[in-house]
């Protein structure tokens, strides 16, 4: 967490040029402790500042010529989609009423806790390739649960930690470590449930659904860019905010980790 204190009106000035709508002042917020993790006003303001500084140049980079990952059309569509999602978050904080802004603060608080637990999983596993695989598995299982009829979703989500345990055992993680990591995934599940219970979270789930409506290449690029941004948050040094300069190294690292795991799990084609 950055030691300097950042007030929301200063962020609004950076985004809007002037503050014409309500935004929570620092005195309106109090530290909250859930699942053993305390989130302070400084954590909230740092998260807002981080998003403000990180995403605009990342979006510009993604749609630019230097990012030779997909077609120009897919890159342009990805950048536009991400801008729309971030504009939604901006509007939740600055363009609506106090209750909506506080709803976003609640969403951010649980999201901060989620990344605390992801970093703890990384520390526990000491294996970034396995963490990336596990995170990809987790997100796919969550997406699969969200696709089910409403009456079946809760049961499917509740079964995900057990499935994660099975997959980690299959990957060679030892018993005590599996229990430790699965407990952290359970806490992440609680965080994600609280996030989705907010108005902001419901809006982000709608964006998740919209992403599926793009062509396959663009939908995949959106997921990969978001994953690289999240990997930036997981891997960044303690006490720093993620910056645009961290994105490309995080992207490269994520691709190498996925490739390394794929290579390690593919059967050999050599014959004796």
Query: Does residue 120 have a pLDDT over 70?
Result: yes
Dump pLDDT digits (tens) for 85-117: 999 999 998 888 889 999 999 999 999 999 999
Residue 1 included in any domain: no
* CB-based burial label for 55 (10 Å; 0-12, 13-18, 19+): buried
- Read off φ and ψ for residue 39, nearest 5 degrees: -110, 125
173-179-183 Cα angle (round to 5): 125
Count of domains for the chain: 1
Residue 264 included in any domain: no
What's the domain range around 179? 8-257
Dump pLDDT digits (tens) for 184-197: 999 999 999 999 99
Residue 238 included in any domain: yes
Residue 230 included in any domain: yes
Residue 164 included in any domain: yes
Residue 271 included in any domain: no
């Amino acid at each position: 967490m950055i030691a300097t204190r950042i007030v929301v009106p200063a962020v609004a000035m950076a985004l809007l040029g002037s503050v014409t709508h309500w935004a929570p002042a620092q005195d309106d917020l109090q530290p909250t402790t859930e699942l053993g993790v305390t989130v302070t006003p400084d954590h909230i303001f740092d998260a807002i500042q981080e998003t403000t500084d990180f995403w605009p140049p990342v979006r510009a980079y993604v749609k630019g010529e230097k990012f030779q990952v997909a077609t120009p059309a897919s890159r342009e569509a990805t950048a536009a989609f991400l801008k729309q999602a971030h504009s939604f978050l901006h509007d939740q904080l600055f363009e609506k009423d106090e209750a909506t802004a506080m709803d976003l603060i609640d969403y951010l608080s649980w999201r901060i806790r989620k990344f605390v637990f992801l970093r703890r999983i990384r520390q526990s596993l000491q294996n970034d390739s396995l963490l990336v695989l596990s995170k990809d598995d987790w997100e796919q299982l969550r997406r699969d649960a969200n696709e089910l009829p409403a009456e079946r979703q809760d049961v499917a989500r509740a079964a995900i930690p057990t499935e994660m345990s099975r997959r980690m055992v299959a990957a060679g993680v030892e018993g005590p470590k599996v229990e430790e990591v699965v407990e952290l995934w359970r806490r992440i599940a609680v965080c994600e449930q609280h996030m989705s219970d907010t108005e902001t979270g419901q809006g982000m789930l709608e964006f998740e659904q919209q992403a599926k409506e793009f062509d396959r290449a663009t939908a995949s690029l959106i997921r990969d860019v978001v994953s690289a941004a999240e990997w930036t948050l997981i891997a960044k040094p303690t006490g720093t905010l993620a910056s645009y300069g961290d994105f490309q190294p995080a992207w490269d690292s994520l691709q190498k980790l996925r490739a390394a795991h794929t290579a390690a799990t593919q059967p050999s084609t050599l014959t004796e």
